[in-house]
Amino acid sequence: MLDRIAPCPRRSPKEESEIRLGCVHRSYDLLSFLFDLQLSKIGVLCGQEVGGVTSLASVGAPSDHTYYTMHAKGVARIASPPWREDDKDGHYMFDLGENLTSRYKIYSKMGEGTFGQVLECWDRESKEMVAIKIVRGIKKYWDAALIEIDVLQQLAKHQAASGLCVQIRNWFDYRNHICIVFEKLGPSLYDFLRKNGYRPFPIDLVREIGRQLLESVASSLYYSFLVMHDLRLIHTDLKPENILVVSQEHVNVSDHKFPSHNMRLPKSSAVKVIDFGSTTYDSHDHNYIVSTRHYRAPEVILGLGWSYPCDVWSLGCILVELCSGEALFQTHENLEHLAMMERVFGPIPRHMMKRADRHAEKYFRRTRLNWPEGASSRESINAVHKMLRLQNLVMKHVDRSAGDLIDLLQGLFKYEPAERLTAHEALRHPFFRNNRRME
């Protein structure tokens, strides 16, 4: 029962494995595209960033989990740290205060994930703090990092996207690890939810954040159609952890539902999307698993293939989480997840059930969901039964604009991807159109 009360883990090990298998599939699917990055131009390892080193050995493509490179000679360094072996999972080992090349000094560890670590560093050249993502020294993460770098560089060329997506400053290969230098941003939306005890955001803040997220998705699509034509970007992992506020400042405001407890909110509503390591291009059939479980669209679970609409579904889940304080679908099981969807949105269309792949067809019996007969436990049945219909859930937490928000969410949560609102259509919805922007 406690795990139903406590915040649900964001991603199970099994789901992480499924998604990373998809990442490997995507990496090899785009192998010919990646070689256009001219890997011979990658700087190697000796404490100097790309473009600032001469007489470097080229990077070879390794066949196992470790990348072997040659040391560059004669490159001036500022107290380079001693060589250390990576930990058992391929993470870079470091001490605070050490240098990461001659340009960057490590100040703190900002976070860690499946991909690697993020360090706060001082940039001696630009005289500013930056965030450096140090990718694990394992081939599949190295490949994913190259994809992320390319996506970030493409987005940086587009003026509209530059204000909505995190900006890449630099990248280099240091001691067998791809390092990506980013502008330093503030906390994630999930950080604010957690520190506020999972209390809802004010609806005006939810509206402005939602507007920016839709603009970030829409601008990527706009960019692909008008500039790159054949480069069609799908993020595939939108969630509160991957949305950072731009400002590191916050304000304390009173909570009318809990007068004795102030809420910590971002001083500015400006946000940026991060983590493009799972981003893919809409140029192939996509059937592998993507998205963190809570934000995963039904077509992904059913194995029907997916495209841009899977990002739109994720945005809908994020909006509900921001205005309620809790993840909409707190589950780690496919059948339970589908049952929760039916509880909140109504029955899954029969034509989607009939098209489910061989892995998902077991969730249905005679053109209906095999629920509650197929439930794994009584607790699972109770968890689904306690869920509210979408309109009741919104009205429980939102006073003003509830009607507009419900109508918007109903469009974002259409089961059939082709019927789901696009990002451009959602931006024209009265929920956004009838209210002025926040500062």
- Beta-carbon-side half-sphere exposure of residue 42 (alpha carbons within 13 Å): 29
- Assess whether pLDDT exceeds 90 at residue 384: yes
More confident residue, 32 or 145: 145
Which of the residue ranges 44-53, 251-260, 365-374 would you say has the lowest mean pLDDT? 44-53
Banded model confidence at residue 37, pLDDT cuts 50, 70, 90: very low
pLDDT in tens, 419-431: 999 998 999 999 9
Cβ neighbours, 10 Å, residue 273: 21
- The whole-number pLDDT of residue 244 equals 97
pLDDT value at 122 more than 70: yes
Q: Which of 59, 73, 72, 50 is closest to 172 using CA atoms?
A: 50
- For the chain, percent of residues with pLDDT exceeding 70: 75
Average model confidence (pLDDT) across the chain: 82
Same domain, 190 and 324: yes
**Domain that includes residue 240, residue range:** 186-433
What are all long-range contacts of 411-418, with beta carbons under 8 Å and residues at least 24 apart? Answer: 412/312, 412/313, 412/315, 412/316, 412/319, 413/313, 413/316, 413/345, 415/298, 415/341, 415/345, 415/348, 415/349, 415/352, 416/349, 416/352, 417/297, 417/299, 417/304, 417/306, 417/307, 417/309, 417/310, 418/309
Q: Which of these three, 183, 207, 229, is where a domain ends?
A: 183
pLDDT band, very low/low/confident/very high, at 281 (cuts 50, 70, 90): confident
* Model pLDDT, residue 146: 93
In a domain, 3, yes or no: no
Enzyme catalytic residues: 237
H and E: helices and strands count for the chain:
16, 14
Mean pLDDT of all residues in 5-12: 49
Which amino acid is located at 176 in the chain?
A: N
Confidence of residue 149 (pLDDT cuts 50, 70, 90): very high
**Whether the Cβ atoms of residue 137 and residue 66 lie closer than 8 Å to each other:** yes
204 and 58 inside one domain: no
Range from 110-114, 203-207, 383-387 carrying the lowest mean pLDDT: 110-114
Which residues, including other chains, have CB under 8 Å from residue 361's CB and lie 6 or more apart? none
Quick: pLDDT tens for 311-341.
Answer: 999 999 999 999 999 999 999 999 999 999 9
**Count of CA atoms in the C-beta half-sphere (13 A) of 57:** 15
CATH code for the domain of 76: 3.30.200.20
Answer yes or no: do 345 and 399 share one domain: yes
Helix (H, G, I), strand (E, B) or coil at 365: strand
Average pLDDT over residues 226-233: 44
Residue 36 or residue 247, greater confidence: 247
Confidence of residue 13 (pLDDT cuts 50, 70, 90): low
Cβ atoms of residues 149 and 156 within 8 Å: no
173 and 120 co-located in one domain: yes
126 φ, ψ (degrees, to nearest 5): -90, -5
Q: What is the pLDDT of residue 383?
A: 98
- Do residues 307 and 353 both lie within one domain? yes
Q: How many domains does one find in the chain?
A: 2
Indicate whether 198 and 166 sit together in one domain: no
* CA max distance for the chain: 72
* DSSP H helical ranges for 118-202: 139-156, 159-162, 189-195
**Of residues 45 and 166, more confidently modeled:** 166
In a domain, 300, yes or no: yes
User: What's the one-letter identity of residue 419?
Assistant: E
**Cα four-point dihedral sign 393, 395, 399, 401:** positive
Mean pLDDT of 90-106: 96
